[in-house]
């Protein structure tokens, strides 16, 4: 824990070195260090990150290390493990292992398994490096698909390829789940349906039954946690929103519809969940079903086509185009801060500021 003292010389800060090394509260020793020697400062509210397991309960894992000894910890895990197997001196190796443990447990553990999983995954890393060393001595390729070491997570065994591919899918799907807030809209339920469908399709194509069950139950529990944590009420800000097209031109006010009818919203979620995400036609069929389902919702919020004003068509097309971007795993969602959003609005053309 970093504590600023009341001295005027800020080249020295009071620093708890044990927190920088292990993110634990054991064996705490405080000492003065020069500020330029500090490579990692864990903020008080960032000691751990919260995740949700298949049991629907929250659990904590340590925040990962992003920089140690002036090195950014950005190397690919397989590159790090391979270098270790080749006998190379891998700086900050132990921190890469800790980051790997954090990244796996946050995606696949739950409140009852996380402690055992941390031990099991660390053992798996040691076994993997040993396997790679033996393969090297025998002239066997260490391509990730050839490696047979098993990692046991939440009672389920994975090879390193299965684990890394599953992690990529879970990270992508989890990023599509909205965080808790003042309300969910019908597009959010579409997002959550895509997240569940992405995981299910990947698992069916690549994993055994036990592995499938772990991934599907975990993503489902996270979705339900969000749905159950949001109050069923209409936030006034959900009744008015701005849409800016790719040409930076404002063309509609009302976009987001508060999902006050959860049963109806689940129909939208189910529509996108039950898609074969290896088949673009299956996804497009779901998109057209969304068009049918969302139309009366938009109309109930006063979004209609009148003469040359095609607000209803524009809004639905915008939402469907947005969903279609999620079909591609390389698509990354971009979140704007309130200040960034205000600046985008300020510089946009043909904008009516309905909040002023």
Give 336's pLDDT tier (boundaries 50, 70, 90). Answer: very low
Lowest mean pLDDT among 20-29, 263-272, 300-309: 20-29
Read off the pLDDT of residues 84-100 as tens digits, 9 standing for 90 and up: 999 999 999 999 999 99
More confident residue, 191 or 332: 191
pLDDT at 228: 87
pLDDT at 345: 46
Dihedral sign (CA 339, 340, 343, 344): negative
Q: Between the ranges 225-229, 296-300, 346-350, where is the mean pLDDT highest?
A: 225-229
Strands (E), the chain: 2-3, 12-16, 30-34, 48-52, 58-62, 67-68, 71-72, 150-153, 156-159, 243-244, 250-252, 305-306, 309-310
How large is the average pLDDT for residues 1-21? 32
| Predicted structure pTM score | 0.73
Q: Between the ranges 8-22, 188-202, 339-353, where is the mean pLDDT highest?
A: 188-202
């Amino acid at each position: 824990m970093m504590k600023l003292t009341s001295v005027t010389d800020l080249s020295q800060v009071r620093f708890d070195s044990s927190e920088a090394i292990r993110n634990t509260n054991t064996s705490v020793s405080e000492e003065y260090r020069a500020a330029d020697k500090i490579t990692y400062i864990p903020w008080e509210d960032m000691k751990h990150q919260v995740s949700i397991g298949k049991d629907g309960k929250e659990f904590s894992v340590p925040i990962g290390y992003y920089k140690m000894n002036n090195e950014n910890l950005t190397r690919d895990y397989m590159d790090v493990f391979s270098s270790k197997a080749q006998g190379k001196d891998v700086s900050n190796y132990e921190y890469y292992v800790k980051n790997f443990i954090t990244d796996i447990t946050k995606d696949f553990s739950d409140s009852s398994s996380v402690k055992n999983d941390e031990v099991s995954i660390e053992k798996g890393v040691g076994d993997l490096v040993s396997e790679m060393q033996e393969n090297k001595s025998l002239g066997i390729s260490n391509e990730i698909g050839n490696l047979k070491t098993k990692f046991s997570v939440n009672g389920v065994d994975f090879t390193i390829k299965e684990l890394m591919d599953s992690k990529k899918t879970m990270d992508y799907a989890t990023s599509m789940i909205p965080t808790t807030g003042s309300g969910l809209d019908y597009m959010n339920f579409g997002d959550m349906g895509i997240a569940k469908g992405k995981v299910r399709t990947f698992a069916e194509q690549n994993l055994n039954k036990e592995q499938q069950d772990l991934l599907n139950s975990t993503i489902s529990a996270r979705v339900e946690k969000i749905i159950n944590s949001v109050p069923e009420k209409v936030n006034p800000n959900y009744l008015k929103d701005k849409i800016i097209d790719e040409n930076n031109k404002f063309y509609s006010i009302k976009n987001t519809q508060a999902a006050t009818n959860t049963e109806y919203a689940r129909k939208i979620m189910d529509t996108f969940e039950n898609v074969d995400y290896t088949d673009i036609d299956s996804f497009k069929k779901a998109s057209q079903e969304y068009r049918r389902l969302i139309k009366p919702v938009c109309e109930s919020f006063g979004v209609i086509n009148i003469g040359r004003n095609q607000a209803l068509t524009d809004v639905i097309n915008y939402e469907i185009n947005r969903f279609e971007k999620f079909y591609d795993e390389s698509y990354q969602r971009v979140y704007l801060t309130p200040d960034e959003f205000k600046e985008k609005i300020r510089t946009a053309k043909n904008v009516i500021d309905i909040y002023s």
